[in-house]
Structure 1
Amino acid sequence: MTRLPLTLACWNYDRTQALVDGRVRPDGIDLNVQMLEVEETFFRMLRHREFDVAEMSLSSYCVTLTRDDPPFIALPVFPSRLFRHSCIFVSAASGITRPEDLRGKRIGVPEYQMTAPVWIRGVLADEYGIDPADVTYVTGGEEQPGREEKLKLDLPERFRVERIGPDDTLSAMLADGRIDALHTARTPSTFYTRPDAVRRLFPDFPAVEQDYYRRTGIFPIMHAVVIRRDVYEANRWAARALYKAFEAAKALVEAELRVTASLRTMLPWQIAAVEEATALMGDDWWPYGVAANRTAIETFLRYHHAQGLSSRLLTVEELFAPECFEAFRI
C-alpha cells in the first residue's frame, strides 16, 4: 500500500524525536522531518508555504485565520509551551522595579505579533492592570539588525508600534537604556554580557510562574502544529493520523523522564523536577488535545483580539481540524 509522503518542519524537541528516528510512524504516512530553528520554520511556512506540516507560532496562525482563504489548519498539538514571566527584561537605567512601572515606557519586541509578547502583554493586563495601549512598542532584531514582522499587520491606532534603526538591535538598546524593557522569547545576550545593565523583572520567576499556574491553571501555549490547508483537504484522514503520532511520541518521553536507573537528560535533578511538575500540574503536565487546553486557548484568543491582532474574537473550534476533537473509544 502506498503511504502518503509529507514533509514536517519542527525543532528538535524530545517530544518529537520518536517521529524523527522512526520509533513512531503515523498511520499511512511517511514523514520527511526537517529539524529547523523555529524562526526559520515560521518564516518559510508563512511566506512560501514550503512544508506540508509545520510547527507554527500560535499568534501567527491566528493572524492567518482572519485573512481571506486561510492557508493552514491546526492540530491540537503544542510542541512549545513556556511560562513567560521569565522573559520580561528591564534596563537598569529605566528605574523599573515592579510590573506597574512598565506603564508609559518604551518596550522592545522582536515582532509585535509574536506569541510570547502576546502572552506577556495579556498577563500584564490581567494581573497588573497594564493596558497594552499604555506603552510604546519598538520592533526589530534582537541580536541582528533588520528583522521585520513575518506578517503584515493592520493594528488599531491606539497601539503605538515603532521600528528601530536599521543598524540597531533590541539587546544592545536595552543595555544602553535606549529602551526601558524587552518582551521576548529568547534571553537577550546582554543579560549575560552586561549583567549590571540588564535584569529580569521577576528575578524569582519560577515562584511567580508556579503561583500563576496555581491560580489560573494555564500553562501558556507558544506553538501549534499546522497542516497546509490544500494538503488537509485532499487527505482529511491525515489530521487524525498525525495527531495520534504526536501523542505517541510525547508519551514515550514522558515515560523516559520518570526512569531513575539513568537520566534521560543532562539535568542533575531531572527526577525532582518531574516530581515537582507532577505534584503541581498532574501526571499529564504537557497535554495535547482541545479539552485539557480550552482555558489556555480561550485566554490566548482573548488576548490576541484585545491587542488588535485578530479583527474578531476567534473560537477554539475555528482553530483545529474537526477530526481531532473526538477520540476513538473501544
Structure 2
Amino acid sequence: MTDLPVLRTVLGDYPHTAPLKNGDVRSARVRLDFLPVAPIHRAFAPMVRDAAYDLCELAVVTALQAVAHGRPVVLLPAVVAARFQRGCLIAHASRPVRPEELKGKRVGVRSYTQTTGMWVRAHLAEDYGLAARDVHWITREGAHVAQYADPAFVTRESHAASLPDLLRAGTVDAAVLGNDLPEGDEFVPVFPDAAARDRQWWRQHGFMPVNHMVAVAASTCRENPAAVREGYALLRRADAAAARADGAPRPTLFGWDRLRGPLESVIDACLAQGLLPRRLSPEEVFGPAREVLGSDAD
C-alpha cells in the first residue's frame, strides 16, 4: 500500500464521501490522503491560485472563473454538493421584506462570487425580474480567483460582525447564508413558500441547484492521469454506495452527458450577474477532463 500513488484530497463530509473517508470504498491503484480543511470553502482559494491539492471540492462559480482565467485546475464532471437555495435568503423577523421590495436595498453575502448567492440572484431574476444590478450587495470577502473584480454595484465591507449580526443591527435588509443558516425564529425567509417553489423548480429542471464540484490540479493530470481516473472512479463508487431514497432530489451528479444542461444553466446565470468575463462552452469546461478520463466521463 505504501507504493500506491497518493492524491492529496479535500472533500466535505457527506453521506456519499463517508465511504471514502472511512475506508469502505478504496482502491488498489490509488490512495486518497484526506486533508482537514473546514469550512470547506477555505480550500478553494489555495486550489485555484496555487493548485495546493491534487483533488479538491470546488464551488461551481469558482471553478468556472478558474477556467475562464486560465488557472491550473481541471474540472471533473462530478457534482458532490447541491441544494435548494431560496430558503437561504433571510431577513430579521422584526423587519421582514418581500423579494419584490429588494430593489435598491442592501443585501449581505459572504462574497459576491459565493455560489449560493449566485443561485439566490438567479431565482430573484427568474421569479421577480430582479436583476443583480438592482440590488446593493454588501460582501465581507473577495473572490477565490484573484483575477476577478466585483461589479460596481457590490461593496466590500470587512466588518467584524457576522451577517446575522448585520441583520440584527439593520445594517443590511436581507442576507444570503448557506451552511451557516441560523436556526430559530429570529430570522425569516424572504422568498414566500421557498420549499414549495424549490420543489417545483426541481420538477421543471430535473436537477438540484449545483453548489460544489470536484477539480484536479492540472499538474496531477499531466503527471499521473491513471491516478486521476481512479480517483474519479472512487467518487462514483462511493456515491453508489450511499443509500438514497428513490425519486428524491439528488445532491450528486456525475458524467458529461448529465451535467451539460445544469452547467449551461449556471453559465447563463453567471454571465447575467457579471461573474464571468465571457461565455464558456461545456466543451471548454470539461474538455481537459475528457482527455484524461476518456469514456469514463460519459
How high is the TM-score relative to the length of structure 1?
A: 0.80
Q: Distance in 1 between matches of 2:251 and 2:239?
A: 11
Q: Secondary structure at the match of 2:17?
A: helix
- Which residue matches 2:163? 170
- Which residue matches 2:128? 128
- Which residue matches 1:270? none
Whether the 8 Å contact between 1:93 and 1:177 is mirrored in structure 2 is no
- Which residue matches 2:229? 240
Q: Distance in 2 between matches of 1:136 and 1:156?
A: 10
Whether the 8 Å contact between 1:83 and 1:209 is mirrored in structure 2 is yes
Structure 1 residue 249 displacement after superposition: 0.5
Structure number with larger C-alpha Rg: 1
For 1:154, the aligned partner's letter is: A
Change (3 A) 1:72 1:26: farther
Q: Distance in 1 between matches of 2:237 and 2:261?
A: 24
Q: Distance in 2 between matches of 1:92 and 1:108?
A: 16
Whether the 8 Å contact between 2:112 and 2:150 is mirrored in structure 1 is no
For 1:85, the aligned partner's letter is: R
Q: State how many pairs are aligned.
A: 292
- Which residue matches 2:295? 326
Change (3 A) 1:65 1:287: closer
Q: Distance in 1 between matches of 2:48 and 2:296?
A: 30
1:55 pairs with 2:57 = yes
**Residue from 272, 290, 299 that aligns with 2:265:** 299
Q: Secondary structure at the match of 1:223?
A: strand
Deviations 1:260-296 (A, max 9, x none): xxxxxxxxxxxxxx25xx1x65xx7743112223221
Change (3 A) 1:187 1:7: closer
Q: Distance in 1 between matches of 2:181 and 2:168?
A: 10
Deviations 1:52-79 (A, max 9, x none): 1111111111111122x42100111111
- Which residue matches 1:84? 85
Change (3 A) 1:108 1:318: same
For 1:76, the aligned partner's letter is: P
How high is the TM-score relative to the length of structure 2?
A: 0.88
For 2:86, the aligned partner's letter is: H
Change (3 A) 1:302 1:200: same
- Which residue matches 1:220? 209
For 2:203, the aligned partner's letter is: R
For 1:44, the aligned partner's letter is: P
Q: Distance in 2 between matches of 1:156 and 1:7?
A: 35
1:230 pairs with 2:209 = no
Whether the 8 Å contact between 1:93 and 1:180 is mirrored in structure 2 is no
Q: Secondary structure at the match of 1:224?
A: strand
- For structure 1, the 5+ residue unaligned runs are 141-146, 258-273
Change (3 A) 1:95 1:17: closer
- Which residue matches 1:180? 173
Structure 1 residue 250 displacement after superposition: 0.7
Structure 1 residue 245 displacement after superposition: 1.1
For 2:90, the aligned partner's letter is: F
- Which residue matches 1:154? 149
- Which residue matches 1:269? none
Higher relative contact order (CA 8 A, sep 6+): 2
- Which residue matches 1:271? none
Structure 1 residue 22 displacement after superposition: 2.5
Change (3 A) 1:328 1:220: closer
Whether the 8 Å contact between 2:49 and 2:71 is mirrored in structure 1 is no
**Residue from 278, 285, 288 that aligns with 2:254:** 288
Identity of aligned residues (%): 26
Q: Distance in 2 between matches of 1:83 and 1:245?
A: 26
